[in-house]
């Protein structure tokens, strides 16, 4: 999630010319636990850099969902991995979307790309950033040899969201 946050911030700030702040927190959980990356994207100057009630929450693990979902603002969007996050009752005032990010990454034989697939879907579902901007940000954040497959992963995330009719209107 830390890398996904950095890619998102780079896409919005560098390639879309928006105001951006990206923060991250992780400790011993960095390998498999509830690490967290917050990204603020605005068309106006950002005066407070801490995210207390996010508009969008992307969860790729049950632990992250359990820890961060209560902070999601009313009317916010929850995007989660359908195979790794189990939700019994989604709050009525939350737009919840579950897609198979990890399963699709495993089909690509690159489980590590689940976060990039999720970014492609997030772009389509929320309109926070353009998929093309995310693709432009990838070479700045990934080794050159990994960029083509990551671009493919972004496109797959976009396709997953579009096929399910999740395009922001």
pLDDT band with cut points at 50, 70 and 90 for residue 169: very low
Across the range 14-32, mean pLDDT stands at 80
Tell me the two tokens of residue 104: 């699709």
Q: Would you say 11 and 136 are in contact if contact means Cβ atoms under 8 Å apart?
A: yes
CA distance linking residue 63 with residue 114, whole number of Å? 16
CA distance linking residue 60 with residue 133, whole number of Å? 22
HSE at residue 136, side-chain half, CA atoms within 13 A, is 13
pTM flag (> 0.85): yes
pLDDT tens digits for range 56-89:
999 999 999 999 999 999 999 999 999 999 987 7
What domains are there in the chain, each with its CATH number?
2-163 (3.40.920.10)
């Amino acid at each position: 999630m830390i890398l996904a946050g950095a890619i998102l911030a780079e896409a919005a700030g560098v390639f879309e010319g928006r105001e951006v702040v990206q923060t991250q927190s992780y400790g011993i959980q960095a390998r498999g636990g509830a690490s967290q990356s917050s990204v603020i994207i605005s068309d106006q100057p950002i005066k407070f850099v801490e995210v207390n009630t996010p508009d969008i929450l992307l969860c790729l693990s049950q632990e992250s969902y359990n820890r961060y979902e209560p902070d999601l603002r009313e009317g916010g969007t929850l995007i989660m991995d359908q195979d790794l996050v189990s939700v019994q009752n989604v709050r009525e005032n939350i737009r919840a979307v579950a897609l198979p990010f990890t399963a699709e990454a495993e089909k690509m034989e690159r489980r590590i790309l689940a976060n990039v697939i999720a970014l492609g879907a997030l772009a389509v579902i929320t309109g926070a950033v353009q998929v093309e901007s995310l693709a432009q940000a990838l070479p700045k954040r990934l080794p050159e040899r990994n960029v083509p497959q990551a671009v493919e992963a972004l496109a797959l995330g976009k396709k997953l969201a579009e096929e399910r009719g999740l395009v922001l209107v």
